[in-house]
Structure 1
């Protein structure tokens, strides 16, 4: 069992997660009785922390305005923060924050208790981060990300210059809904007021114009979730090559093998489903389809896809013969 002071800090740390805890959950986490938990809650209240009892669940939550000790983190939280800052400094797609991430790491290390400082130092001195690929991901400026975020939060129309490889330069006016960091890119999901439809925009291809436009009433997003909508858009947009294949397994069996943005699954029956997908080249399509690791039939596909599958199959057979 933790000593009283350490247990109070642990209790305060749990309450800082901005959720309501039941008394049973807190008692279990702290390995104490419900009676001891009530005493600890009273001690926190005596120290000035507004711990409120929740109605109906016999639980507790921390009220707003509490002056909490800085950096009340356990060793798992320290690991998460340090690892996130390391990744940002090494391969972050947002420019202008690499040095800030390293400075934050240095400050974090200085104010930690000695035990946690040692764990963080161990992580930093034994970990090397490298860029995810030979070709760097497109970068976006921190100012651009914040400008979009502010427009989303304030529900203000956003105007920006946009450069598309296929359509060139244009000026867009949108009602921004939210941003998604998806793979190697940042995307803005917004209602395009000129085209009266939902659109997705690569953040690295846009430059916001100031000032923002008038406020708007948010619209209901298709799919109900910005990440789900983006995944569907990325898998069904106007790729140069598109295909529909019948997978000879039920949709539930292959769902975990389809990564976000790869394609859209359409259930058919208990033994099969359709996979809708697109790609830049037929070779990419062939690789994506075979990576699902399921028997399949081409339902709607360009002739180039059949050629790409034959080439891939021949390459695999040759490798087996030479083994």
Structure 2
């Protein structure tokens, strides 16, 4: 019995695939759907289908600004540059699409800046200081404040060049700094010399020697004062022993205490004597008062006697005038 022939490998590869056209069409459709879906997703992610409002920024220069550049607020993108153009006055009009969901961050008092950094590109930033102000309307036109850090580079280079020139002048040999350093070196050498501190303080070596001589004399005077203080301490110690006594001598304190006791006794006797004197004086004052009264009465009596004598004298004078009696007018009082 004959065996059937074996299939050729090429025959397996050339076998027709069932529904090949439908499968190819499905693959193409899937690929096209994937591409379109990716494009739509990218457009959605880029905010193409998101509702926006228009904002026009006016600047004097648009260097570094391009279509698609983000406009940031506090570091977060809230809009994108849509187009650039020139206005009639030569200003640059930058049209920005701001997402409506982020448009509430922009107010009528918002400030927009166009900043060019030394490192990195140009950025457009928005600043809203008062969030309670009215919101920015659609189609609003606002100026842009421009700040270019590279514009300061020439001025910085000029300042650095001037600083280097000043440093060269300071470090020159004939500069004031060089003179100051020389004076400092001379000052240090004088300080390191013997007696340098005094010579520096006084201004000359001779005056420094005089100061040293004065210090030596002061030390001698202090030594003498120390000796005098020691002798004075000895005198005070002896006086203490004489006054307060020592181990074998009672000192002057007991004698002074005994003298004080005797003086107190004498004062007591004198006090008692004074009491007696006060009594005698009181009696003498009473006797004096009686004598004063008697003297007053005697004065009145004498006045009366004198009045009587004057009357008698006048009577005798009248009698002698009328009769020729003796002219002896002397009147003797008893």
TM bucket normalised to smaller: under 0.3
* Structure with bigger gyration radius: 2
Q: Normalization by structure 1: what TM-score?
A: 0.19
Which structure has the highest helix share of the two? 2
Q: Normalization by structure 2: what TM-score?
A: 0.19
